[in-house]
Copies of this chain bind each other. A is one copy, B any other.
Amino acid sequence: MKILLTLSYVGTAYCGWQTQKNLVSVQSVVQDAVEGVFGKRYSVTGCSRTDSGVHARGFRCTVDIDAEAPHIPEEKLPIALNTKLPYDVSVLKAAYVDDSFHARYSVKSKRYEYVIHNSPLRDPFLSGRAWTVPIRLDEVVMDNAAKEFIGTHDFSAFRAVGSDVPDSVRTVFEASVRREGDMVIFSVSANGFLYNMVRIMVGTLVDLARGRLSSDVGGIIESRDRRNAGITAPPDGLTLTEVQYD
């Protein structure tokens, strides 16, 4: 038996989702909370490895419980777990699922949003939650460029150097840029993402809008060369917003 949890968290204080030696991860505080409620340490598997400083709404993870686990009705689990969690992590929903369900491998699509605060003056309320870019960005230029991400491509140019997943082909279902006042928001959904892929996409769109790149997105994808893409945007503006399963 597994429990599928839906989480929301502010990632600023964490080394990311994944547990790392001597660092505090979201996974470890969830595991601690589960232990606090069930009286036993169970393994927790996330849908994704978010980076340090990256946030999530609608993150999914499973808890591998066993026959010894006391039965707690699923509607009571969020509040029970939240009393054991720090203020920056919250369980929104819990459901018992079959053992065949896998938090990562069963994912059909994930959506990320990236918030750029496009203003010469920083906003204290957005600290840690947006990337402040002082130069005025043209969101129409960025939206048109973002459309070129859509489709099945080898995204080697959009992954961190040194990452070594053998298959760098991903299918992007949707990609768009919109403006809401001082906010420029990039939204992207795909069947999967390479390491730092969204942050490099954002850095590339911003660098294109700032006139710092000579090639267009299509050309950068085709080159399969990280050096042709833009900078890696800071983690602050990035939120995993949605995970869909089959």
Contacts and interface: CB of A to CB of B under 8 A. Distances in A.
A122 to B, nearest CB: 5
Given A87-B127, A127-B87, A127-B88, A82 B10 contact: no
A10 B121 contact: no
Contacts of A120: 79
A111 to B, nearest CB: 17
Interface string A104-137: 0000000000000000111111011100000000
Interface residues of A, number: 23
B79 A92 contact: no
A78 interface: yes
A184 interface: no
A89 B79 CA distance: 34
A90 to B, nearest CB: 5
Contacts of A128: 87
28 contacts: A8-B123, A8-B124, A8-B125, A9-B124, A10-B124, A10-B125, A10-B127, A55-B125, A57-B125, A78-B121, A79-B120, A79-B121, A82-B121, A82-B122, A87-B122, A87-B124, A87-B127, A87-B128, A88-B124, A88-B127, A89-B124, A90-B121, A90-B122, A90-B123, A90-B124, A91-B121, A92-B121, A125-B129
